[in-house]
Structure 1
Amino acid sequence: MSNTTGKAFDARIFKRLMGFVKNYRTQFLVASVSAILLALLAVARPKLLQYIIDTFFESKDKTGLLNYVLIMAAVLLGEVLVRFVFIFIANKLGYSIIKDMRMKLYKHMLNFKMSYFDTSSVGKLVTRAVTDIEQIANFFGQGFFMIIADLLTMLAVIIMMLFMNWKMALITLTVLPVIVYATKLFQLKMKASFKEIREQAANLNGFVQERVSGMKIVQLFNREKIEYKNFKEINNKHKKAWVNTVMYYSIFFPVVEIITSVTVGLIVWFGGFQIIAEGSNTTAGEVIAFVMMSEMLFRPLRQIADKFNTLQMGMVAGTRVFEVFDTESHIDATGTIDAKGFNGHIQFENVHFSYIENEEVLKGISFKVNPGETVAIVGATGAGKSTIINLINRFYEIDSGIISVDNKSINEYTLESLRANVAVVLQDVFLFSESIYNNIVLNKEVSLDEVQKAAKEIGIHDFIMSLPEGYNYNVKERGVMLSSGQRQLIAFLRAYVSNPSVLILDEATSSIDSYSEQLIQNATDKITQNQTSIIIAHRLTTIKKADTIIVMDKGLIVEQGSHAELLKNKGYYHNLHEMQFKHAEAS
């Protein structure tokens, strides 16, 4: 989607934003009727004031004066009440719409391919889902409806002016095109400025989030001064974007104020001459009413310029949000088979895959895992081991070939049932800022007793109970309150509790202490018995008992067989084994 920066008003984005109003037709109708009533009540005030001055000031009718002052007070009170309803409903409508938009956007993002998140800034996505959508609320509450109300008020004022005295009305309306032209220029400049502000805000959010998440690396490599300098530069760009906006405001509003004051002077001058002239029907009350209406005409115009900026910021934000909405990055979820469980027969047939086009990671690999077997995959970093896990779970689509489970292509299964039957323990364990229990069950219907029973079966119950509050211990953001080994144990229990048909361990013991490794090894031996399991590991000592070991190098399978067979062959696996044990002896 292209950003129409040169347009002050983007009808296509406006139409899409207004499409979200259909669920709130009653609120929209109330806001619209309130805007019409505000316009009518606004012009009633100067007309009443004219009548009071021309009728009761000269006749000195105190009773009549009091009655009409009370009528004017009633009109003012009515205007206050209608304005309250208008502002409340307009803003309520705005926040109701962004609630719907945010839910729809989040649901849309939940189903994106992993490749989308691989190439998208987390900070920018957060900005789209939070800040930009918040700005859309202002589009409705502070922008669109306020502009409609002001335009209706201006229309009512112009009609009333022409009806009362068309000559003085022409004096006022002669100045109007000048202000309208200045307003249009102002809006064009502001849209470009607001686009720059949103861009710089997204860059700032992304930078801060990334550096805060990686603060350990920043401090470990003494990058504090460098990162501060980079932040200063980005922050300065953000400031400059806002300063440009302030400059346009500083020019526009004083110019409009001068034009308004000149117009009032012309009305008083011309009206005064008409009152003095013989045979003229112009009255003092009429001149005062015109001065009042000229203010009512120009003040909304000034406000419209400001509110139009809010409208534009909402549309710029809408453009960015709709870019995410329009992103087609979903796995083709056309599978219809709802698997309640797998026997565990997995087969890769001539599978080719690349994260980046024409840069293959897997170059036509074929292998199979029989039900109940434990298959280990080893190889150097970048050989394609972890990619296999991503493909079994359909986080990415293969370029060609077939991946099947129980003799059916994984594309035939529903995504939900496929992933529900495959449990994965990753090397980099992600834990939410919740209790250990919630991180294990992930809101599934598994009782605490069942979790404790599973923990005892695989031998990690005592470890959990040694923590403060046991299973209710809050691990904080990303599990920072636990060591890497402890996080692995929690992830292992999480996989075990899900009762999977296929268990996958991705480098699950590559960066943990020997005690945790022993716990995981014992648990691995227990839960992989008679269950289809795939183990990816650097430490060859952890896969000696595997039924089959697949050796990969540069996206190809170079060897496969049992531990003993591969050692006997004295090939790639034998060399890996020798290198690891020599390194272990040397250390």
Structure 2
Amino acid sequence: MKQVFRNIRSSFSIATRIFLMMNRKEKVLFFLFVTSAVLSAVSEGAGIGLFAQILSAQMNGNVFSDVPVLGNIEFLFEGLDVKERIERVAILLIFVVLARASLQYVVYAIGAILPIDIMKRMKLVAFNKLQAASYAYMQSRNIGGINTDIIMTTKNVHILVQHIGHVMSNIILLLFYAFILIALSPVITFFVILGMLIGSFVLKWLTEEKAKAAMQETLDADEVSISVLSSSSEGAKLVRLMNGQNVVKSKWKQSVDSYAEALFKQSLLTSIPYPFMMCYVGLLGGAGIWFMLLFSTSDPANWIVLILLFLAILLRMQGPVSVLNSSLNYIVTYSPALTQYDNFIKSVSEEVETGGGKDIVSFDNSIELKNVNFSYDGTNAHTVEGVSFSIPKGSFCAIVGSSGAGKTTIASLICRLYEPQEGSMFVDGQDLTKVNLESWRNLISVVSQDVFLFDDNLIENIRFAKDRSEEEVIEAAKIASAHDFISQLPNGYHTVIGERGTRLSGGQKQRIALARAVLADTPILILDEATSQLDSETENLIQQTIFELSKSRTIIAIAHRFSTIQHADNVIVMQNGRVKETGTHEQLMKCDGVYARLRKLQEFTN
């Protein structure tokens, strides 16, 4: 019994939280829902009142004239004989049934629309918050966790709101039933409610813990199934190369069997409440009649109508009682989703990308770094330490060094994907932290080694986030030496290339990324190992493209292949996060330092 009231209190608290987070439209829908539920309960009372009139007609009197609600419609039947009274009941019943059906439809419709609307808004809010978050935050989270926080939690909140609606509408109906029962006989109502509470306690004792365990078992099994499916799909290449299809099929069968078994147990347990309550109410009614026969001193004809009406109302109550019990359990089960969503919104809101309010519409002078220190975990173990250099407008600057030297980190800092812990960065003499991020990134295009492409056609991938015509896309692809291979694809530029561009080779993806950068036509172009996966012939073509682009753009090239940067105006050599050397290719070769050793080592390994 305590658990039932605890669940009701918990449900009320959760409903209050959800109501407070509703927008104006959702609150209007909520009040329409409550109003319709109340009117639906009133129409149910009118139906019971009409049923009472039939019973009264059988007694040739107004048995329920003193009963609130039931007696309020007696005036409609004054002066009518039994036949006329029943005829009028039949006519009125049509209108009552139509009214109740209409009101019930409104209740069900709003009960479906409101959770969907809340879920949709929560998803939009969460995704928009995520897009405003810093890249550092995105890198600190795993993709599965983010998907769960946005997709699964909002889905579970949708289920939660649905069941809160079920609880509210059924509580309103049950309160109305209870009011009528008390009006008929407070004493009998007391014993009936006591009996139903005992029945609810017995039902809880029989099923609640087992149902919870079965539901958790179902959720766990479902999670395992998703994991098996996801890993076997993502690892499709390895599975086939290792002939592991039978292994993953066995794991999949095991997970599906476990899920089906858990769901079977849950279904059996959740099927118990309705027939149990139906049987229990029947037994309760039978016991009540037997009790009245044994102990009542009045003629049964004086109270049999009362008992029949009681039984009719009790039978009508069993559905709402079962739904109420079930929905309260669902609310308790799914309530953590709301807290998880709130925690996600709070955490992502604390990691918003910070940018100044000053727009920058052009790049006129230089990019400058002064004593920049940075580490990914915020410790003193710097990935980049004491870095200072300047990149003049219109220059071709190359950044080289062995793996882990900090080259890509420098590019990320310039793009402001990360913020340095110490030091300053300037663009045209302005502190980069005071420049509007969107306006700064509008001046930059990046072609990286790890190219990301969307599961869309090539046109949309090349002109992503840019409003360009198909003719302009084709021209950019030609400049990036991508037009020929695109033309040979089944649907040309309209070919859908799969998730992350899985239907393209590494070199093809890099040429698409270069075409995207060419189409963006920004004054600053960052090439992060942009030719690492190209064959020699294509690399020569791309090098020529880069050379031509360098005449009209500022280029920052990060490269392992020194052939890409021989014509650079300045080469910055990184080692262990520090700038070790700077100069042109010829100057650095004459110094016979780090650059020269790396160059000779590459020639030897090639």
Q: Does the alignment reach a TM-score above 0.5?
A: yes
Mark the CA change 1:53 to 1:82 in structure 2 (over 3 Å): closer, same or farther. same
**Partner residue, 1:422:** 444
**Partner residue, 2:331:** 311
The farther-off stretch of 218-227 and 63-72 is: 218-227
> How far apart, in 1, do the equivalents of 2:217 and 2:165 lie?
25
Match of 1:56 among 52, 55, 58: 58
8 A contact 1:5–1:192 mirrored in 2? no
Q: TM-score, normalised by structure 2?
A: 0.85
**Partner residue, 1:393:** 415
One-letter amino acid of the counterpart of residue 134, structure 2 = K
- Report matched runs for 1:168-207 at 5 Å: 168-179=188-199, 181=201, 205=226
8 A contact 2:481–2:538 mirrored in 1? no
Instruction: Please state if 1:569 is matched with 2:591.
Output: yes
8 A contact 2:444–2:522 mirrored in 1? yes
Q: CA RMSD in A?
A: 3.3
One-letter amino acid of the counterpart of residue 35, structure 2 = V
> How far apart, in 2, do the equivalents of 1:5 and 1:212 lie?
41
One-letter amino acid of the counterpart of residue 56, structure 2 = D
5+ residue gaps, structure 2? 1-5, 62-80
- 1:155-182 Cα offsets, whole Å, 9 max, x none, are 1111111111222212201124335556
Mark the CA change 1:211 to 1:511 in structure 2 (over 3 Å): closer, same or farther. farther
**Partner residue, 1:215:** 236
Instruction: Please state if 1:83 is matched with 2:104.
Output: yes
Match of 1:494 among 516, 520, 535: 516
Instruction: Please state if 1:351 is matched with 2:372.
Output: yes
Instruction: Please state if 1:152 is matched with 2:172.
Output: yes
8 A contact 1:331–1:396 mirrored in 2? no
- 1:81-135 Cα offsets, whole Å, 9 max, x none, are 1111111122122222222222111111112222333343323433443343233
Match of 1:337 among 358, 362, 371: 358
**Partner residue, 2:342:** 322
The alpha carbon displacement at 1:225 in A equals 6.2
> How far apart, in 2, do the equivalents of 1:556 and 1:315 lie?
51
The farther-off stretch of 295-304 and 204-213 is: 204-213
8 A contact 2:447–2:514 mirrored in 1? yes
One-letter amino acid of the counterpart of residue 546, structure 1 = A
The alpha carbon displacement at 1:61 in A equals 2.5
SS, match of residue 444 in structure 1: coil
**Partner residue, 2:496:** 474
Instruction: Please state if 1:293 is matched with 2:295.
Output: no
SS, match of residue 333 in structure 1: coil
The alpha carbon displacement at 1:271 in A equals 4.0
One-letter amino acid of the counterpart of residue 22, structure 2 = F
> How far apart, in 2, do the equivalents of 1:129 and 1:230 lie?
28
> How far apart, in 1, do the equivalents of 2:188 and 2:252 lie?
57
> How far apart, in 2, do the equivalents of 1:10 and 1:68 lie?
39
SS, match of residue 535 in structure 1: strand
8 A contact 1:353–1:363 mirrored in 2? yes
**Partner residue, 2:67:** none
The farther-off stretch of 545-554 and 495-504 is: 545-554
Match of 2:506 among 465, 479, 484: 484
- Report matched runs for 1:221-240 at 5 Å: none
Identity %: 27
> How far apart, in 2, do the equivalents of 1:254 and 1:364 lie?
75
- 1:257-285 Cα offsets, whole Å, 9 max, x none, are 554343222222234447x6326784322
> How far apart, in 2, do the equivalents of 1:312 and 1:576 lie?
63
SS, match of residue 530 in structure 2: coil
**Partner residue, 1:270:** 291
Mark the CA change 1:568 to 1:12 in structure 2 (over 3 Å): closer, same or farther. farther
- 1:57-78 Cα offsets, whole Å, 9 max, x none, are 6688323222213323432232
> How far apart, in 2, do the equivalents of 1:343 and 1:47 lie?
85
Mark the CA change 1:34 to 1:17 in structure 2 (over 3 Å): closer, same or farther. closer
Instruction: Please state if 1:505 is matched with 2:527.
Output: yes
SS, match of residue 326 in structure 1: helix
The alpha carbon displacement at 1:458 in A equals 5.0
Mark the CA change 1:289 to 1:5 in structure 2 (over 3 Å): closer, same or farther. closer
8 A contact 1:460–1:519 mirrored in 2? no
Mark the CA change 1:222 to 1:577 in structure 2 (over 3 Å): closer, same or farther. farther
The alpha carbon displacement at 1:298 in A equals 3.6
Mark the CA change 1:348 to 1:220 in structure 2 (over 3 Å): closer, same or farther. farther
Q: Higher relative CO (CA 8 A, sep ≥ 6), structure 1 or 2? A: 1
> How far apart, in 2, do the equivalents of 1:419 and 1:195 lie?
47
The alpha carbon displacement at 1:220 in A equals 3.9
Mark the CA change 1:90 to 1:254 in structure 2 (over 3 Å): closer, same or farther. closer
8 A contact 2:476–2:516 mirrored in 1? no
Instruction: Please state if 1:11 is matched with 2:33.
Output: no
One-letter amino acid of the counterpart of residue 499, structure 1 = D
8 A contact 1:123–1:203 mirrored in 2? no
8 A contact 2:225–2:255 mirrored in 1? yes
The alpha carbon displacement at 1:372 in A equals 1.4
One-letter amino acid of the counterpart of residue 422, structure 1 = I
The farther-off stretch of 499-508 and 20-29 is: 20-29
SS, match of residue 517 in structure 2: helix
One-letter amino acid of the counterpart of residue 520, structure 2 = S
- 1:215-237 Cα offsets, whole Å, 9 max, x none, are 22444456656666776787688
The alpha carbon displacement at 1:485 in A equals 1.2
**Partner residue, 2:137:** 116
One-letter amino acid of the counterpart of residue 523, structure 1 = T
The farther-off stretch of 27-36 and 246-255 is: 246-255
SS, match of residue 376 in structure 1: strand
> How far apart, in 2, do the equivalents of 1:517 and 1:298 lie?
76
One-letter amino acid of the counterpart of residue 560, structure 1 = T
The alpha carbon displacement at 1:554 in A equals 2.2
Match of 2:469 among 444, 447, 468: 447
8 A contact 1:128–1:321 mirrored in 2? yes
One-letter amino acid of the counterpart of residue 482, structure 1 = L
**Partner residue, 1:94:** 115
The alpha carbon displacement at 1:53 in A equals 2.1
- 1:423-477 Cα offsets, whole Å, 9 max, x none, are 0001121111222221111142222233333444455444433434433333232
One-letter amino acid of the counterpart of residue 292, structure 1 = A
One-letter amino acid of the counterpart of residue 431, structure 1 = L
5+ residue gaps, structure 1? none
Mark the CA change 1:18 to 1:340 in structure 2 (over 3 Å): closer, same or farther. same
One-letter amino acid of the counterpart of residue 163, structure 2 = G
Mark the CA change 1:481 to 1:378 in structure 2 (over 3 Å): closer, same or farther. same
Instruction: Please state if 1:373 is matched with 2:395.
Output: yes
